[in-house]
């Protein structure tokens, strides 16, 4: 994993990982679960993961703090939540959206722990949507963050999470969004 990280991020960025104990242990868990990391080109900032193919993709566009905290976020989806992804064909749209938003808030809370550890260690990144979420979470805890996820913009589609999840459920169930 160390070699992979050096190759992906360069030695400079890989060196920051040690300053976040949470991220260091996430990377250990990813290694144990044979999850691969990939950095993608392009100017859009996004992160995604696929639990089945055990692959996490982070865009280069986001800057180092965004990239590192996003690994922690996707780790929760791929490993901790691997048996907790609701099946859109087995639940109502409301239940599907609610449990996906719960998962999203849980993954993001974990990313914010890493974000905070990086900040405390003096690692600075450019300001982004996570900067705002960090303040919301620090002041209001998980409930405030969960509420915030409702209106957060999904990085792949640029729609709000709620809209994105409703459209996903509709597509799976053969209904017009
Ligand atoms: Zn997520």
SS3 (DSSP) at 58 = strand
The alpha carbon of 149 and the centre of ligand 1 are apart by a number of angstroms equal to: 10
Whether residue 99 lies inside any domain: the answer is: yes
What digits encode the pLDDT tens for the residues 69-119?
A: 999 999 999 999 999 999 999 999 999 999 999 999 999 999 999 999 999
Whether residue 79 lies inside any domain: the answer is: yes
Whether residue 177 lies inside any domain: the answer is: no
Whether residue 125 lies inside any domain: the answer is: yes
The total number of structural domains that make up the chain: 1
Compute the distance between CA of residue 103 and CA of residue 50 in angstroms, rounded to an integer: 15
Q: Which residues surround ligand 1, an ion (CB under 5 A)?
A: 104, 107
Low-confidence ranges of the chain (pLDDT < 70): 1-2, 11-13, 177
Q: How many residues does the chain have?
A: 177
Whether residue 155 lies inside any domain: the answer is: yes
Please tell me the pTM assigned to this model.
0.89
The alpha carbon of 134 and the centre of ligand 1 are apart by a number of angstroms equal to: 15
Full residue range of the structural domain in which residue 63 is found:
2-172
Phi-psi region of 10 (alpha: psi -120 to 50; beta: other; left: phi over 0): left
The alpha carbon of 86 and the centre of ligand 1 are apart by a number of angstroms equal to: 14
| Residue 150 CA: distances (Å) to CA of 61, 70, 126, 171 | 24, 19, 24, 20
Whether residue 86 lies inside any domain: the answer is: yes
């Amino acid at each position: 994993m160390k070699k992979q990280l050096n190759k992906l991020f360069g030695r400079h960025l890989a060196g920051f990982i040690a300053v976040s104990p949470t991220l260091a242990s996430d990377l250990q868990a990813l290694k144990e679960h044979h999850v691969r990391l990939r950095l993608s080109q392009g100017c859009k900032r996004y992160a995604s993961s696929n639990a089945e193919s055990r692959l996490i993709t982070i865009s280069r566009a986001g800057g180092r703090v965004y990239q590192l905290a996003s690994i922690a976020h996707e780790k929760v989806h791929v490993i901790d939540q691997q048996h907790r992804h609701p099946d859109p064909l087995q639940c109502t749209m409301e239940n599907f959206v609610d449990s996906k938003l719960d998962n999203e808030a849980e993954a993001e809370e974990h990313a914010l722990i890493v974000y905070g550890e990086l900040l405390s260690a003096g690692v600075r990144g450019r300001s982004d949507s996570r900067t705002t979420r960090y303040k919301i979470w620090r002041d209001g805890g998980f409930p405030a963050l969960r509420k915030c996820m409702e209106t957060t913009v999904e990085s792949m589609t640029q729609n709000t999470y709620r809209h994105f999840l409703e459209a996903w459920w509709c597509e799976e169930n053969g209904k017009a969004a």
